[in-house]
Structure 1
Amino acid sequence: MPRFEVSTSIAAPPQRVFDLSLEVEVHTSSMAGSTERAVDGVTSGQLALGDTVTWQARHFGLNWRMTSRISAYDPPGYFVDEQERGPFRRWHHAHHFEPDGRGGTLMRDVIDFAAPLGPLGRLAELLVLDHYMRRLISTRNEHLKGLAEASGP
């Protein structure tokens, strides 16, 4: 099962970065390239522990839906979103927000995922999905960084 981590330094306090990370509108604007939008559950505002949201997006030329739940939540240190229904056999995304000692945040995303379809899914993970998902998370993080740093102290 693939696991990867993406770290992003953000010149904004952990609470601001944590809060922005849970905003539905921030997520959808960060994923504009895949036309991602919230279509069920919490579809606007800030997500909290136990909330579910169904995302619809276009990846690889196909429309996908994924329902995820905020399954762990400890502001402003971390939260976890996990797939309840969707294209993956498993999706577990832990978001960590650590003070960097200079008033900013080290944001770490730790993602464990698995594609369906047994050996064919494993091949897709190795050939396409691992790189694609890293790039998607990095793009999201750069968008979040820009918003957090633009909003001032």
Structure 2
Amino acid sequence: MISFKSHSGIYSLEVTQFLKISLTEAWNFFSSPGNLSKITPKHMGFEITSGSPAKMYTGQIITYKVSPFPGIKTNWVTEITHVSEGMFFVDEQRFGPYRMWHHEHHFEAKDDGVLMTDRVSYKLPLGFLGRMAHSLFVKNQLKQIFVHRETCLESMFR
């Protein structure tokens, strides 16, 4: 399920997905930065440029190249600001296409799998133009990214 909200010029996106895998399996997959490219749409040209250690840690800086629009490549720098092993981690943009990006990844063990919840708070640059861009394409692009991710994960973890 995907939901969007807006408050004080900040947008919030919440996505939940249930997978029939163990909490350990989910954590091991998502806490490895190199796996992000496996669940990102190919047309975005997503590439980690900082190298990818096997396991994330608090304070880790990860740099990427990504193409949010055809023909336009940009650098994106995130920092892993919080890690609670097996429960959640947070990445925040330090440089990139958003004015603000705060992404929480939560994992909750259930009887027959794991419930994953992503909470993203973000703000676009350029004031009124940013709000128009959100309405015209950013919101839909984010939705498509998470729908793609859901499809990939369902296929990978049947």
Alignment identity in percent? 24
CA distance in structure 1 between the partners assigned to 2:79 and 2:91 by the alignment: 5
Partner of residue 83, structure 2? 73
RMSD of aligned C-alpha atoms?
1.6
CA distance in structure 2 between the partners assigned to 1:46 and 1:143 by the alignment: 21
Q: Would the alpha carbon gap of residues 25 and 67 (structure 1) be closer, same or farther in structure 2, given more than 3 Å must change?
A: same
Partner of residue 136, structure 2? 127
Superposed CA offset, 1:49-86 (max 9, x none): 21110111112111021100111111111111000111
17, 24, 34: which one aligns with 1:8: 17
Taking structure 1 as the reference length, the TM-score comes to 0.87
Question: Runs of 5+ in structure 2 lacking a partner?
Answer: 1-9
CA-CA distance at 1:23 after TM superposition: 1.7
CA distance in structure 2 between the partners assigned to 1:86 and 1:143 by the alignment: 25
Q: Would the alpha carbon gap of residues 112 and 98 (structure 1) be closer, same or farther in structure 2, given more than 3 Å must change?
A: same
42, 46, 58: which one aligns with 2:67: 58
Partner of residue 82, structure 1? 92
Larger RCO (CA under 8 A, 6+ residues apart): 1
Moved over 6 A (4+): none
1:109 is paired with a residue whose SS is strand
2:81 is paired with a residue whose SS is strand
CA distance in structure 1 between the partners assigned to 2:43 and 2:114 by the alignment: 26
- Paired residues of 1:6 and 1:138 also in contact (CA < 8 A): no
Q: Would the alpha carbon gap of residues 141 and 70 (structure 1) be closer, same or farther in structure 2, given more than 3 Å must change?
A: farther
Question: Runs of 5+ in structure 1 lacking a partner?
Answer: none
Which residue type is aligned with residue 108 of structure 2?
Answer: E
Superposed CA offset, 1:25-56 (max 9, x none): 2111222331211112x434222221110111
Partner of residue 124, structure 2? 115
Superposed CA offset, 1:5-26 (max 9, x none): 1111101112211221122321
Aligned residues: 147
Which residue type is aligned with residue 76 of structure 2?
Answer: M
Which residue type is aligned with residue 5 of structure 1?
Answer: E
CA distance in structure 2 between the partners assigned to 1:78 and 1:23 by the alignment: 13
